[in-house]
Structures are given as structure tokens and as C-alpha cells.
């Protein structure tokens, strides 16, 4: 589900204040053809609900899964998806680019 940057960050704040476990995923680097620019965000709660996009939909499922782990552990992760990465093909990143996504718990 897409949203404006302000909506995504507001959702992160609201969900956290409501007592939900929350993570924020941010595109920190891109190479080649990338579906979303650096700075794009995805907010995720502990139940897998999300708002925003880091890839136009092609790797969101994998990012949501990793974000739930980040919420539980409290340890941030940097994820990389690209055409040379077997995981990228599994999740559908076939645009010819690579993206790096930083996932952190919101507290």
C-alpha cells in the first residue's frame, strides 16, 4: 500500500504510540534501474501491516518478514536485493537494478 512520506512517518509515530511494535524500512542506496528512489519508506507493525513502498511492490513481502524480526530483536538490518541476488528473483525484482534497504525498530 502506497502513501505519502508524511503519511508513512505519521503512521510510524501513531502505531508506536498505540503500543504496536513498529519498524521503518528506508531505501538507502540504489544501483541501475530501481523502482523507488533513495529515501523511500515502508512502515511495518508486528502483525505485518504496512504502509508505503521501498520497491514498487516487488520486495515488500521479504522486507516485511525481515522487519518483524527487527521488531522482535531490536537489532537493525541492512537488506540488499538485486538481479544477481537469487532472493531478488524469488521476490520479483527483475528490473535490472539493486536496492539496499535499512530496517530499524521505531521506539
The reported pTM is: 0.85
pLDDT digits 0-9 by tens, 80-89: 987 555 555 5
**Domain count along the chain:** 1
Torsion, Cα 88 93 94 96, to 10 degrees, reads: -90
Read off the pLDDT of residues 57-105 as tens digits, 9 standing for 90 and up: 778 999 999 999 999 999 999 999 875 555 555 655 555 678 999 999 9
Note down the domain range covering 74: 5-106
Q: Distance (Å, rounded) from C-alpha 8 to C-alpha 17?
A: 14
Amino acid at each position: 500500500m502506497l502513501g505519502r512520506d508524511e503519511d508513512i512517518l505519521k503512521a510510524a509515530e501513531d502505531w508506536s504510540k498505540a503500543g504496536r511494535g513498529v519498524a521503518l524500512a528506508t531505501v538507502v542506496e540504489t544501483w541501475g534501474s530501481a523502482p523507488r528512489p533513495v529515501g523511500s519508506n515502508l512502515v511495518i507493525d508486528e502483525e505485518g501491516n504496512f504502509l508505503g513502498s521501498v520497491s514498487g511492490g516487488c520486495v515488500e513481502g521479504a522486507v516485511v518478514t525481515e522487519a518483524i524480526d527487527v521488531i522482535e530483536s531490536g537489532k537493525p538490518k541492512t537488506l540488499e536485493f538485486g538481479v544477481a541476488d537469487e532472493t531478488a528473483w524469488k521476490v520479483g525484482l527483475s528490473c535490472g537494478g539493486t536496492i539496499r534497504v535499512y530496517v530499524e525498530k521505531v521506539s
